[in-house]
Amino acid sequence: MPILYLIAGLVLLFFSGDWLVNSSVQLARHFKVSTLVIGITVVAFGTSAPELLVSLEAVYKGSPDISIGNVVGSNIANIALVLGVVPLVLPIVVKRKDIWQDWIVMFVASVVLMLLSQDGEIRIAEGIVFLCLLCLYIWWSIHKSRLQSKKQSEVVLDPTMALWKTIALFMVAGAGLYFGAEWLVLGAKTIAQNFGISERVIGISIVAFGTSVPELATSLVAAFRKETDISIGNIIGSNIFNIWAILGITSVLKPISVNEQIVHIDYWWMLAVAVLLFVFILPIAKGVITRWKGAVLLLIYVLYIYLLFF
């Protein structure tokens, strides 16, 4: 039975996340919000919604290891798994010369998380710091994009869905995320108890993989369409939101206890794959994540998951 809850939760989160993004974009268009702002704010929050609901559910159900493990595991999976698999389909060419700026923000976010977790808890004050940094990042991203393309910032597309349908889809997506998160946490927690596996391992592996599926699917579709440059930007942005938005909101609502193993083991893996990603996209102007680099990243992820269980 727990495995059914786990699978049902993963499936519901996947579809509900997609519905939330689509309905949010349509709502933004109904209120005449530009495509630039939609891309940086609405879509980013929408794709992070599954992780947010899972983290909140886990904390309030007394499973903080699943909450923090979900975020750390997702950040590792986004780089080592997603950017490991995609180049095997088609090598990723780095077309954005300023991608290093976003990478620095992601790395700083990871280091700040590591430093603030040393005492074993992420408190309300630290959550407020994360949210303030998130607001600065969003402002900076919008400002940078507008400087690069003034015309793009003025584009406002018309909605393709009636307002009542958009609102209905948004509400269905919200309900789906709620029940999906509840089932996923319930299934993961029960499996951990039944098989004697720690909640940290379940959170970092199974739960994190499940919440990283949207990023994997999006990046694979982009690869098949030969738009691989979208992959790195999406992954880096997702990792930033995972730390500052998800852990920021969660810790403000309820402080998060951080497992000592996560602090001394998993954070270092998260930083290591981030550094490796930067090395692999050098030189920035002509960087390419080739198939062999993708294979290395994927093998690192497989090794990490193996070490978690054995």
- What residue segments make up the domains of the chain, in order of their start? 2-309
What's the mean pLDDT when you consider all of the chain?
85
Q: Is the pLDDT of residue 81 over 90?
A: yes
Q: Is the pLDDT of residue 9 over 70?
A: yes
The per-residue pLDDT for 21 is 74
Q: CB 12: neighbour CB atoms within 10 A?
A: 21
pLDDT band at 148 (very low <50, low <70, confident <90, very high): low
pLDDT band at 37 (very low <50, low <70, confident <90, very high): low
What's the rounded Cα separation, in Å, for the pair 176 and 185? 14
Amino acid letter, 241 = F
The per-residue pLDDT for 150 is 60
| Structure token digits, residue 145 | 């994009």
The per-residue pLDDT for 244 is 94
Of 20-34, 79-93, 200-214, 230-244, the least confident: 20-34
40-70 pLDDT tens trace: 566 667 667 778 888 888 888 888 999 999 9
This prediction's pTM: 0.85
pLDDT band at 13 (very low <50, low <70, confident <90, very high): confident
In the 8-state DSSP scheme, what is residue 230? H
99-139 pLDDT tens trace: 888 899 999 999 999 999 999 999 999 999 999 999 999 88
Which numeric CATH code is attached to 2-309? 1.20.1420.30
Q: What is the dihedral of CA 283, 287, 289, 291, to 10 degrees?
A: -100
